[in-house]
Amino acid sequence: MSNTSTPVLGSFVRLADLAPDEQLLVHGSWNAAERAYIPLSKFPVGAALCACNERGVSKNFFGCNVENRFMSCVICAERNGMTSAVAEGYNDLQKIALVLKLYQGPGASPCGLCRQVLIEFGRDAVVFQAADPERNVWRYLVRDLLPAASGSLRALADLEVSDRRQIGRLLKLAARAYTPYSKKPAAALFTAFNAAGVFKVFAGVSDDNASYGASASAEAVAMRTARTAGYVRQPSLMLMVDDPKALNPVEGESLQVLREFGTGSSVTLVGADGSSVCSNIGELLPDSFGPESLV
C-alpha cells in the first residue's frame, strides 16, 4: 500500500530517483529498524545518516530506538544515530533517512526531541522520510521540522490590557526559575478547560538539573501541572523565548509535550522585552509525530 496521496512535509521522491548514496541510506534505515529494542511499544524505528568530520570526510551511521522500562530513558532512532556520529567526531549532519516501520502516514516524522538534536548538527541537512513499504520517501530539510512562527511581532504597548497583564505576570514569574546550569531563567503559562468547562491558568518555571537531560522546561512544568489537575481541553501556551521571530523558537521537547494535548493548541511566543508573536502547534511542529502515528 502506498501513502503517496497523503499530505505530509516535503515532496515525494521514488527510491529509484534518489542518488546511489541516498538509496544506501534508505536501505540502511530499514535494516537499522530490525535492530530496534522495543519491549514496550513493539514499534520499530530505524535511522541512517551521513555526517562529515572536521576534515570533511563523510561516514554513515545508524540508529534504532532503544527502550527502557522507565519511559523517560527511551531514546529514538534518529537521536541514537546522531549521537553515535558525534561520538566518532562526525558532527556535521548532511543527510538522514528514517523509517517508522509499521506506519508511513502523516506524522511518520521525527519527534520534537529528535528534531531538536538534528537541527543542532545540520539545519540544512536533507531528510528522507519513509513514505511507503516500497521505500519511496518524503524529502525535506531538517530546518523545515522546527520553523519560525509566521505571525507578526506585536509590541507590548499595542496589546489589550488583559494580554499585557498576562505577559507581565509571565516575565515576573521567571525570577522563580532554578537555572544554575543553563543560566536561562524562563516562565510559561498554560491555560486550558477541564471536563466541567472551568478555565484555569497553570504556571511553570524552568527547573535545571546537574544531569542536564533531567532538566524540565518552564512550559513542560506548566503543561504537566495542568494535566495533573485535569485541565486538558482547548489548551493554549504562552512562554518566554530568546527571539519570537527566530527559526526553532521553542525547544522541540516542549512542542512534543504540547502535541499530546492535540493539534489545535495556540502558542504565544514572548521575548524578554514583552514583544510577542502568535503561533500554533501545527506551525511550530509541522506534521508532528503523535498518538495517531502509533496505530
Q: What are the C-alpha distances in Å from 93 to residues 100, 118, 125, 178, 195?
A: 20, 8, 6, 33, 45
| Helix, strand, coil percentages in the chain from 3-state DSSP, rounded to 5 | 30, 25, 45
CB 157 to ligand THU: min, Å: 42
222 scored as a contact of ligand THU (CB under 6 A): no
CB 291 to ligand THU: min, Å: 10
CB 37 to ligand THU: min, Å: 9
289 scored as a contact of ligand THU (CB under 6 A): yes
Provide the 3-class DSSP secondary structure of residue 168: helix
DSSP label at 247? Answer: S
Q: Which of 74, 102, 203, 278 binds ligand THU (CB under 6 A)?
A: 74
CA 225/CA 189 separation, integer angstroms: 11
Q: What are the C-alpha distances in Å from 85 to residues 48, 204, 243?
A: 10, 35, 30
Q: Which of 43, 36, 72 is nearest to 294 (CA)?
A: 43
| Amino acid letter for position 125 | A
> What's the grid cell of residue 96?
538522514
The interface region with ligand THU, picked from 71-79, 148-156, 157-165, 218-226 by CB under 6 A, is 71-79
114 scored as a contact of ligand THU (CB under 6 A): yes
38 scored as a contact of ligand THU (CB under 6 A): yes
Name the one residue in this structure whose C-alpha cell is 471536563.
195
Please identify, using beta-carbon distances, which residue of 76 and 285 lies nearer to ligand THU. 76
The interface region with ligand THU, picked from 5-13, 18-26, 109-117, 138-146 by CB under 6 A, is 109-117
> What's the grid cell of residue 9?
512535509
78 scored as a contact of ligand THU (CB under 6 A): yes
Name the one residue in this structure whose C-alpha cell is 522546561.
217
DSSP-assigned letters across all residues of 25-90: HHHHHHHHHTT-B-TTT---EEEEEEEE-TTS-EEEEEEE-B--SSGGG-B-HHHHHHHHHHHTT-
CA 91/CA 148 separation, integer angstroms: 24
**Alpha-helix residue ranges (DSSP H) falling in the chain:** 20-33, 77-87, 112-121, 161-173, 218-229, 252-259, 281-284
Applying CB under 6 A, the site for ligand THU has a residue count of 15
The interface region with ligand THU, picked from 69-77, 120-128, 230-238, 246-254 by CB under 6 A, is 69-77
Choosing from 34, 54, 67, 78, the catalytic residue is 78
CB 77 to ligand THU: min, Å: 4
CB 160 to ligand THU: min, Å: 39
41 scored as a contact of ligand THU (CB under 6 A): yes
67 scored as a contact of ligand THU (CB under 6 A): yes
Q: Which of 3, 29, 60, 65 binds ligand THU (CB under 6 A)?
A: 65
Please identify, using beta-carbon distances, which residue of 75 and 218 lies nearer to ligand THU. 75
The interface region with ligand THU, picked from 35-43, 198-206, 209-217, 227-235 by CB under 6 A, is 35-43
Annotated catalytic residue 160: no
Report, as residue numbers or ranges, the catalytic residues: 78
Q: Residue numbers of the site for ligand THU (CB under 6 A)?
A: 38, 41, 43, 45, 65, 67, 74, 76-78, 110-111, 114, 289, 294
